[in-house]
Amino acid sequence: MKTFKIPAFYESSLISKVKQKRKSEDPRKMDFSPSVLDFGAVEIVLARHFGFCYGVENAIEIAYKALYENPGKRILLLSQMIHNPDVNKDLEDNGIGFIQDTYGKQLMSWDDITADDVLIIPAFGTTIELEALLKKKGIPTEKYNTTCPFVEKVWNRSEKLGKENNTVIIHGKPSHEETRATFSHSSSGAKSIVIKDMNEAILLASFIKGEREFDEFDSYFKGRYSSDFNPNADLNKVGVVNQTTMLASETQAIADYFKTVMENTFGNDDISSHFTSTRDTLCYATNDNQQATFGLLKESADLAIVVGGYNSSNTSHLVELCEEKVPTFFVKNASEIKSAAAIHHYDWRAEEMRLTENWIPKVNIPRIIITSGASCPDAVLEKVLRRLLEFFPQSKTVLKIEEGLT
């Protein structure tokens, strides 16, 4: 796989050594068991896969290339490059401006943006409508377009589904940049609708099965389906695609559910006329990170810390998985770990910060799981690890552990 040039301050000597050791032992990535770092007074259990993925490294490399190639010019990002506050702040500190926030709210007026500006498309991609606006203003977007190829793969799959007369059901978070971009591209060639979870899949299926009147449809899905969508006619053949960072197991369960619904509604003899199987729209890194989290949770542990941006979809799903097994704390960086007695962490369900006291169990040698999302720099995760070690003064040093990895 291609390697990218990213700033050294995003890297971690310790994490690099751990990842290189695992790669040499398991080059085909068949082993999802974690790495256990024994610091003596505490054990750190690291996921097999975590941190920057292909698409994120590609985006960061292109952003820094834009800075290097355009001294003196104003460089603008359409929205957040990725969902990580440390990375986005670093880009801002280097002079890159943001046109919109993560929810599409304007931070700069389009009237103030001209063809003299250098524009970067973020890793999530963007909508066809915004592409047209930029083209109209004479702003080129091809050179510094960081759209992840796995996002584009979903767009291509949606286009193919549309050509086969499917309505595309997008499993994603409606307000997420990637979902908005995917919906725009999908809608250009296919009837499309966004659902966020299995509950909404069941709700949508109730219209297919005739359990609800079609005049109720808008009250449930307003703003989330393509123009001229006719639920009476456009739900006779469907295919499911994934916002690339959703839980793979949930997307597959939703697809399997719709297949069963179509079989029960239209019969099994000609299922291909009513359902198209799609198993290839999940990002490889999302899949690896989720599988590695399942591997993590086979180990005994006293708590888990998941590091990443609070608006990161793939990170929140890692938190969701960990919460099923152990007390889990979602932190953006080491600054949230206030002391051995208090931790500031994000409750992704309630969408609010919480303060938990006495969060480290009083056991002889605590075992602490650490992992991170695909947009989190390894350096940020290492700072979290080092912050934890401050609470265990009898621990081995990071340097001592690094020596054991070489």
- Closest by alpha carbon to 231, among 243, 220, 242, 240? 220
Task: Yes or no: say if 100 and 81 are a contact pair by the CB < 8 Å rule.
Answer: no
- Closest by alpha carbon to 187, among 150, 232, 223, 139? 223
131, 178, 320, 382: the active-site residue = 178
Tokens for 53, please give them. Answer: 């993925």
Long-range Cβ contacts of 128-136 (<8 Å, 24+ apart): 128/184, 128/185, 128/188, 129/184, 130/78
Count the neighbouring beta carbons within 10 Å of the beta carbon of residue 265: 14
Distance CA 262, CA 117 (A): 50
Task: Yes or no: say if 55 and 285 are a contact pair by the CB < 8 Å rule.
Answer: yes
Phi/psi of residue 213, nearest 5 degrees: -80, 140
- Closest by alpha carbon to 348, among 309, 381, 297? 309
DSSP calls for 38-64: E-SS-EEEE-SS-S--HHHHHHHHHHH
Distance CA 204, CA 212 (A): 9
Which H helix or E strand runs over 309? none
Q: Is 91 helix (H, G, I), strand (E, B) or coil?
A: helix
Tokens for 338, please give them. Answer: 């206030």
Tell me the angle at which helices 284-296 and 248-266 cross, rounded to the nearest 10 degrees. Answer: 110
152 is catalytic: no
Task: Please count the residues of the chain.
Answer: 406
Distance CA 345, CA 307 (A): 10
Give residue for tokens 């610091």: 39
Distance CA 130, CA 99 (A): 12
Distance CA 104, CA 124 (A): 12
Distance of CA 79 to the CA centre of its chain: 15
Q: Is 35 helix (H, G, I), strand (E, B) or coil?
A: strand
Burial 124-143 (b: 16+ CB within 10 A, else e): bbbbeebbeebeeeebebee
Which H helix or E strand runs over 170? strand 167-171
Q: Which residues are catalytic?
A: 178
